[in-house]
Amino acid sequence: MALTQPIPTLTGLGSLPATSHPLVQYRSLHPTFGADAFADFTTITQELVDEIKMGLAKYGVLVFRKTGLSDAKHVEMSHLFGDLDDIAPFVKGLGQENRLSSDFLFDVGNVNPDGTVMQPGGMRDLLLRCNNHFHADSAFNPRRAGISLLLAHELPPAGFGGDTEFADTRSAYKGLSEEQKEEINDWVVCNSQLNCRRNANIDDNGKLNPLLDTDEFDPMKHRFGKHKLVQTHEPSGRKNLYIAAHAHHVEGLPIEESQQKLNELLSHAGNPEYTLRVEWRDPGDLVIWDNTCTLHRSIPGTFAGKYKRDLRRTTVHDTSTQAWGLNGEGATWRSGLD
Ligand SMILES: [Fe+2]
């Protein structure tokens, strides 16, 4: 689909560099971030990927419809974005089975290795519930994720839910009071995937699901991915609030007190004025986002246990100067496998 309209300028965002023959066109979805994007994926080139990256620097989230991409093309294009994270350590470390054709594809849908629909209440369902809370991919690992590319393969019928919601953390930072900005400016956050997984399985009475009430799922018994809370998002030069449901505590502050403050910040970032909901419509729909200036979460729906929601993600390692946080460049451990 070709659009001839100029790239819109959004509130608080700069304009994209003008190119004589743009390979990507945009239509904004929200006053401060997010755009429908239009490109031809028949031939995937570095030039196309570089242009998408420019769009991401501005919009943070790009929605491409009916791309026609296969698993192989998805992975091929992702390699042009940078070094990719892979699931091999988890397959090896946890004995998980990879039903997909590549270890660069993260299986974030609800399809079991045997092809059946995952049923609610099983361990894999409990662990994936973390994805229903606002997070940035791999904030818990020593090297965090930069860009994620999520491709739809099979979707529930319309009306059964399963959207993905995004939050604009650059605008969320901007929306803090000057006192808040000063208080949090030097905070280092200790992130754990286990923290998110446990919090996603606490019932209305505050009781943790016994299946996760073990040392294996105790964040304090494993390593934390440490990252600064306030950072400059280097592709845009704007300040960003790097908060996620993985955030367990602030280094050097009492745990309970800092958890309360981190929860307040996460709740602030999820304020409706900073969020955008994306509906998955067709197989081939592709959403690309920058984890270092946005958050995302999946929205539960009545499809659960009935229909497949088969979404596959590639994850590009961050290449900014903040990529390794305070974890030591080159660290090879992975959250939950240490
Ligand atoms: Fe995610």
Residue 323: inside a domain: no
Q: CB–CB of 124/332 below 8 Å? A: no
Residue 187: inside a domain: yes
> Going by C-beta distance under 8 Å and a sequence separation of 6 or more, which residues neighbour residue 206?
none
Domain housing 82: 25-317
Centre of ligand 1 to C-alpha 84, Å, is 15
- pTM of the model as a whole: 0.92
For residue 4, pLDDT beyond 60 = no
Beta bridge partners of 289: 61, 148
What local confidence, expressed as pLDDT, does residue 15 receive?
58
Centre of ligand 1 to C-alpha 317, Å, is 14
Residue-wise pLDDT for 7-17, tens only, equals 444 444 555 65
Q: CB–CB of 249/255 below 8 Å? A: yes
| CB-count burial class (<10 Å; 0-12, 13-18, 19+) for 100 | middle
Distance between CA atoms of 315 and 229, rounded to whole angstroms? 21
CA distances, 259 to each of 19, 244, 245, 326, 335 (Å): 46, 12, 11, 19, 19
For residue 18, pLDDT beyond 70 = no
Q: Which residue has the higher pLDDT, 298 or 94?
A: 298
- The CATH number assigned to the domain holding 101 equals 3.60.130.10
The one-letter amino acid code at 27 reads R
Domain count for the chain, please give it: 1
Q: CB–CB of 273/282 below 8 Å? A: no
Distance between CA atoms of 249 and 262, rounded to whole angstroms? 7
Centre of ligand 1 to C-alpha 164, Å, is 10
Residue 330: inside a domain: no
Residue 18: inside a domain: no
Centre of ligand 1 to C-alpha 135, Å, is 6
Supply 69's token pair: 């991409």
Centre of ligand 1 to C-alpha 130, Å, is 9
Residue 175: inside a domain: yes
> Going by C-beta distance under 8 Å and a sequence separation of 6 or more, which residues neighbour residue 69?
41, 77, 151, 284, 286
Centre of ligand 1 to C-alpha 281, Å, is 19
Centre of ligand 1 to C-alpha 18, Å, is 32
Q: Which residue has the higher pLDDT, 122 or 47?
A: 47
Distance between CA atoms of 90 and 93, rounded to whole angstroms? 5
Residue 172: inside a domain: yes
Residue 208: inside a domain: yes
Centre of ligand 1 to C-alpha 174, Å, is 24
Residue-wise pLDDT for 205-241, tens only, equals 999 999 998 998 999 899 999 999 999 999 999 999 9
Residue 5: inside a domain: no
Centre of ligand 1 to C-alpha 257, Å, is 26
Residue-wise pLDDT for 113-155, tens only, equals 899 999 998 888 888 899 999 999 999 999 999 999 999 999 9
What local confidence, expressed as pLDDT, does residue 118 receive?
93
